[in-house]
Amino acid sequence: MKRVPLNKADYYETFPSYLDGISRKFGEKPAITYFTRAKEPVTASYAQVTQQALCAAHALKARGYAGKHLAIVAENCYDWLVAYLAIASAGAAAVCIDVEQSDENIRQMISQADAVGVFASDTYLPICRQTEEEAAAWDLFLLGESSKEQVSIQDLCREGQPLMEQKENRIDGLACDPAATASIVYTSGTTSLSKPVMLSHRAILYNAGDAIRDVDAGPRVFSSLPFYHSYGMTGAVLDTLVRGAELCINGDLKTMMRDLYLSQPDSMITVPLVVEMLYKQLWLSAEKEGKAKQLRSLLKMCRILKKLHLPWENKTLSDIRQKMVGSLHVIVSGGAHLEKKICEDFELFGIQILQGYGITECAPMVSTNGNKYCKMGSVGLVLDHYQVKIVEDEIWVKGTSLMNGYYKQPQQTKEVMTEDGWFKTGDLGYLDKDGFLYITGRKKNLIVFKNGKKVSPEKLEEQLLKIPMVKEVMVYGAANGSSADTVVVAASIYPDPELSKGMSSYEILEHLQSKIDQLNATLPLFQQIQMITIRDQEFTKTASKKIKRHTV
Amino acid sequence: MLEIIQKIIFEVTGKSEVTIDTDFVRDLELNSFDVMNIVCAFEEYFQTTIPTRDVWKLHQVRDVIEYARERGLEE
């Protein structure tokens, strides 16, 4: 299929040149907007964001952080972005920490990446200096309001300003190698299996450029994706800024809907969980107003008209959309599978859903549907700087935006990279004759949730096996009935026959439930085990004594 | 306190069979959005703010009651 990209993209080699470029090109245009508690918008222009980031970069460089690793531990906020851009521009690597993890995991991730400094918000500062050893190992910087005791990112901006003003060109002295690691991002999943992925300046910035080639997301974009995931950073922040649009940010589920309404965006970049929530709300309000039946018939009629290629656009449906999400008319969804029916129904309301596919190791986007080139059910066309081939049903990727490897894990890197530079994604899929990519499953045993997060069953099984009553266990993703493909974590347990002797199945279940409740209390909400079934027989196993998962 | 929580949960999710032992995720099959919506209603009722990181520690109705007691939130 011959394809003409919608947009021209700027490709930058390094973060300093990216900041300099977008600042020159878009100057006083609004770049980042967020809303205060009192619902007041606060907007920073391209000139302001880039000025702050570059000043802080000069300060970090002068403090000797070039070539070192600095972690960011905070919920989404404006300062998070300034810190990230400053760290990468100073020639250091920004270690992005998933703050939904437990306190212990957060500290483990910081030390695993050999970070010498940590940028933390008020909430996370105490977690990052729990022991004296840690307080000595990491220089701490505050994100948010300045305080007397702690140097903040804004202090660094002030510190770097005179250093920058001495230079003829403000990025002088900030030369970076395009192939050097600019960011270390952890793959989704539980910590022991979550790997630190090294992404270079060029990998990230070319990916951001590629992402906008076929997607017209309009002048105002809303995103609540966490910045610590590469999808949130490259897919929402960097690619929006590379084309001069305004990004409205949010990172708190509590205020997400409020901020979405306040933002009145043209598009939203998100995960299936949010799309489904919007869909559910739409039907809930229709039910409440007693109009659900009417709405169903209307949708049915439009569907038939559309199938017959007759004009199907309907004013009632677009009025409902206007009331629900205002001007929003494009949703980019990635990270997990989204039900086709939801995409089809939203389209009738006048909202186009563009699904894409990505993986942290690929910085992260590999393919995306465009406004013009779009096939429902597929994850779109492969990006310009990537090639995809299918080897025994597995998707392999090669190109400019691949990772530099897993940090300090050469063996694991070798396992996923071929000698001629192909990355084995572990996802199964195929390409159709027009070059659209489809995902059919996963090679690895990962349970993928609607928010794009993943959990490895093996890790949870390891925890469950610590309960004496559990002899054998298999953890899997089960449909929970509320929608066809909503996944919950389920465990099938074969109890120790000796320890459970004389107990009724109810007693066994009750005992196991109380132990699992204790385990759940230590896990993030989405990873909690919500269903337990008891088996009266051992699992069928392979020759190497592994449970045959697919035969259960 | 239990009655208030029952009322809030009913208003937000339409679920009515709520006791002190009810687990939000396991028993009511709520997702993170539902839990957050309950928290927002709770914050509004008590005119307080619950940090997001604390929310994930509240698994059961009893945890909410305990949390409210620790913070001196009165009916």
Asked if B52 lies within 8 A of A530 by C-beta distance, the reply is no
User: Is the CB of residue A528 less than 8 Å away from at least one CB of chain B?
Assistant: yes
Which of A253, A255, A279 is the mutation pick for testing B, counting most B CBs within 10 A?
A: A253
**pLDDT score of A483 more than 60:** no
pLDDT value of position B24: 84
Q: How far is A226 from chain B (nearest CA, A)?
A: 14
Chain-centre distance of CA A452, in angstroms? 7
- Please determine, for the modelled complex, whether the ipTM score is greater than 0.85: no
Asked if B53 lies within 8 A of A123 by C-beta distance, the reply is yes
pLDDT > 90: what percent of chain A? Answer: 59
Asked if B31 lies within 8 A of A252 by C-beta distance, the reply is no
Q: What's the mean pLDDT in A95-113?
A: 90
* Closest alpha carbon within chain B to A521: B57
Domains in chain B (CATH in brackets) are 2-70 (1.10.1200.10)
Cα separation of A303 and A5, whole Å? Answer: 29
Q: A191 or A172: which carries more pLDDT confidence?
A: A172
Confidence of residue A450 (pLDDT cuts 50, 70, 90): confident
Asked if B59 lies within 8 A of A520 by C-beta distance, the reply is yes
**Residues paired with residue A332 on neighbouring β-strands, in sequence order:** A269, A354
Q: Specify the CATH number of the domain A13-28+46-176.
A: 3.40.50.12780
Cβ-nearest to A252 among B31, B52, B57: B52
Q: Which residues of B touch A521 (CB under 8 A)?
A: 57, 59
Confidence of residue A355 (pLDDT cuts 50, 70, 90): very high
Confidence of residue A190 (pLDDT cuts 50, 70, 90): very low
pLDDT digits (tens, 9 = 90+) for A49-59: 999 999 999 99
Cβ-nearest to B26 among A482, A521, A530: A530
The CATH architecture one would assign to domain A456-551 is 2-Layer Sandwich (3.30)
pLDDT digits (tens, 9 = 90+) for A192-245: 568 999 999 999 999 999 999 999 999 999 999 999 999 999 999 999 999 999
Three-class SS state of A330: strand
- What residue ranges do the domains of chain A occupy? 13-28+46-176, 456-551
Q: What's the mean pLDDT in A496-520?
A: 88
Residues of B with CB under 8 A from a CB of A: 23, 25-26, 29, 31-33, 35-36, 39-40, 43, 51-53, 56-57, 59
Cα separation of A153 and A87, whole Å? Answer: 11
Answer yes or no: are the C-beta atoms of A275 and A268 closer than 8 Å.
no
**pLDDT score of A146 more than 80:** no
Three-class SS state of A493: strand
**pLDDT score of A484 more than 60:** no
Asked if A524 lies within 8 A of B56 by C-beta distance, the reply is yes
**Residue A42: other Cβ atoms inside 10 A:** 10
Most confident of A78-92, A118-132, A175-189: A78-92
Answer yes or no: are the C-beta atoms of A364 and A207 closer than 8 Å.
yes
- Least confident among A25-39, A274-288, A348-362: A274-288
pLDDT digits (tens, 9 = 90+) for A272-293: 888 988 888 888 888 888 888 9
* pTM for this prediction: 0.85
Confidence of residue A116 (pLDDT cuts 50, 70, 90): very high
Asked if A525 lies within 8 A of B52 by C-beta distance, the reply is no
Non-local (6+) Cβ contacts of A65 within 8 A are A87, A90, A92, A116, A117
User: Is the CB of residue A100 less than 8 Å away from at least one CB of chain B?
Assistant: yes
Most confident of A80-94, A161-175, A503-517: A80-94
Of A91, A148, A150, which is closest to residue A118 (Cα–Cα)? A150
Q: Which residues of B touch A524 (CB under 8 A)?
A: 56
Average pLDDT, chain A: 90
Q: What's the mean pLDDT in B9-37?
A: 83
Asked if A277 lies within 8 A of B59 by C-beta distance, the reply is no
Answer yes or no: are the C-beta atoms of A77 and A99 closer than 8 Å.
no
**pLDDT score of A389 more than 80:** yes
pLDDT value of position B68: 87
